[in-house]
A and B are shown apart, each in its own frame.
Chain A
Amino acid sequence: DVKVTQSSRYLVKRTGEKVFLECVQDMDHENMFWYRQDPGLGLRLIYFSYDVKMKEKGDIPEGYSVSREKKERFSLILESASTNQTSMYLCASSTSDTQYFGPGTRLTVL
């Protein structure tokens, strides 16, 4: 079974803090994705990566950056967290077909 894990299920941070969300997959997938999910808005792609050290902006990259130093790990960074970044963050990995999702991190920024 494909396994995608995320570093935290719940996270509470203060405005202005730097926040790291980590995602690890164990299936040697080349593609990895970060989404945020907000009620009524579905899933919105923040960034994705198709190889180590490679990244592409998604639909809503502003306020975020990413890092992929190893194939299995894809990190999402909020340089200076703001209250409008309170959301559910979902990581996914894929081959050329189905995306497999991690359990999600519910981030609250106070």
Chain B
Amino acid sequence: ELKVEQNPLFLSMQEGKNYTIYCNYSTTSDRLYWYRQDPGKSLESLFVLLSNGAVKQEGRLMASLDTKARLSTLHITAAVHDLSATYFCAVDGGYQLIWGAGTKLIIKP
């Protein structure tokens, strides 16, 4: 059974700091997704990682995928308040996505 674990589940950090969210999954998968959800709103696609070693960057967010380690990271550089949200990773489980529990990120001014 494919399981996806994110950590940390909650992260409070100061503006300007760097931090990394981790997403581990239990069995082989070729695709990994990162989504963002603002409070009371729906999910927005951030990144799709399709192969081992894939790295994608958008602004202060960078995502990478290591399929051998079954690990993806979402790195936040010089955090700003606008990045406060809940971040989800999801792994392609064949006919459906398998979701992590989400990381609630609070960035304090």
Query: Which residue numbers of A lie inside 8 Å of B, CB to CB?
Result: 33, 40-45, 48, 50, 56, 58, 90, 92, 97-104
Main secondary structure of the interface of A (DSSP, over half): strand
| 7 smallest beta-carbon distances between A and B, as pairs | A42-B101, A101-B42, A101-B43, A43-B99, A42-B99, A103-B42, A98-B45
Bound-state Cα–Cα, A101 to B43, Å: 6
Q: Is B21 on the interface with A (CB-CB < 8 A)?
A: no
In the complex, how many residue pairs between chain A and chain B have their CB atoms under 8 Å apart? 41
**Does B101 lie within 8 Å of A104, measured CB to CB?**
no
Contact for B96 among A45, A98, A104, CB less than 8 A: A45
Given the interface pairs A45-B96, A98-B48, the reply to whether A103 lies near B101 with Cβ below 8 Å is no
Closest-by-CB residue of B relative to A45 is B96
Bound-state Cα–Cα, A42 to B96, Å: 14
Contacts of B97 in A (CB 8 A): 45, 99
**Does A104 lie within 8 Å of B100, measured CB to CB?**
no
16 contacts between A and B (CB under 8 A): A33-B96, A40-B101, A42-B100, A42-B101, A44-B99, A45-B97, A48-B96, A50-B95, A90-B42, A97-B31, A98-B33, A99-B97, A101-B43, A102-B42, A103-B41, A104-B42
